[in-house]
Amino acid sequence: MLGIQHWIFSVKWGIWTRDNNLSNTSRDVNILIFGQTGQVARELAMYEGVTCVDRAAADLEDPGACAALIAARRPDAVINAAAYTAVDKAEEDEARATVINGDAPGAMARACADLGVPFVSISTDYVFSGTGTRAWQEADPTGPLGAYGRSKLKGEHLVQAAGGAYAILRTSWVVSAHGHNFVKTMLRLGAERDALTIVGDQIGGPTPARDIAAACMEIARQLADDPGKAGIYHFAGAPNVSWADFARETFAVAGLTCAVTDIPSSDYPTPAQRPLNSRLDCDRLETVFGLRRPDWRVGLQDIVKEVSV
């Protein structure tokens, strides 16, 4: 099985290498990435042979333009790392969120199916209702609590309907040294305050964006070799943890002496309801693609170091 934390994928189709030591039998490929400034897109941009496109090149509010770009570029694979991620704002902006998270991935998937190239699209645990305590499996009934989840679920349905060699990768609690995320917020607040109250009844798997990027690249590679692996998969960091405990670990790694008090979600109301249970069962991804859940504590160490530089 592949421990993706310690491997580098160099975009020579069909080989994993350590320290970019390439095989003579591999070939250069071109992978088109939708997204440029998001957390996962910024990690994907670190790979050789990828082309990241921003809104100026293909606006996700114009799904037809996204499909046209794929048809014109004729890449070897496409990864959709762009999305409308403002969960609370989506409650009053659902139509726009649905075009970006639903219609655009569907158009991309159809264009990839026409070309016969792999398509990987990132989805979310928010497609589930968040009830219970059992980790969600890919075949479990969906039931989004809000507009963001509904928009992502529409995207899943349209990608599936397009056929082709697709993979929908549901993930959760994305963190990195880039953009806006929980770890960066905690590092800022932990340096400013002596104590914080943080939600303790939402449980999930924090997932470093760097690990998501590596997983997307490997999935695209394997789909090119075996389109029969198409489907929905889960990928989240381990072990599962509450937001409050995640904050405690962040402060410990950063050497911050900020006390954390657990509070229920009801004490921190937001426009969009958050799922209490964001646990994702990732066994299927390991069985089919050989990708294990990354240890988010390892990724957290790297993120804290990068942010502190």
Q: Which residue is listed with tokens 């249970």?
A: 277
- CATH entry 3.40.50.720 includes domain 4-180+207-238+279-294: yes
| C-alpha distances in Å from residue 153, one per residue of 31, 195, 222 | 25, 37, 24
Tens digit of each residue's pLDDT (9 = 90 or more) over 135-159: 999 999 999 999 999 999 999 999 9
pLDDT at position 111 over 50: yes
| pTM > 0.75 | yes
Annotated active-site residue in 148, 166, 233, 268: 148
Alpha helix stretches (DSSP H) within the chain: 39-44, 63-73, 94-98, 104-115, 147-162, 182-192, 209-225, 243-254, 283-289, 296-308
pLDDT of residue 24: 36
* Annotated domain spans of the chain: 4-180+207-238+279-294
Our answer to whether residue 148 is catalytic in this structure is yes
pLDDT of residue 15: 39
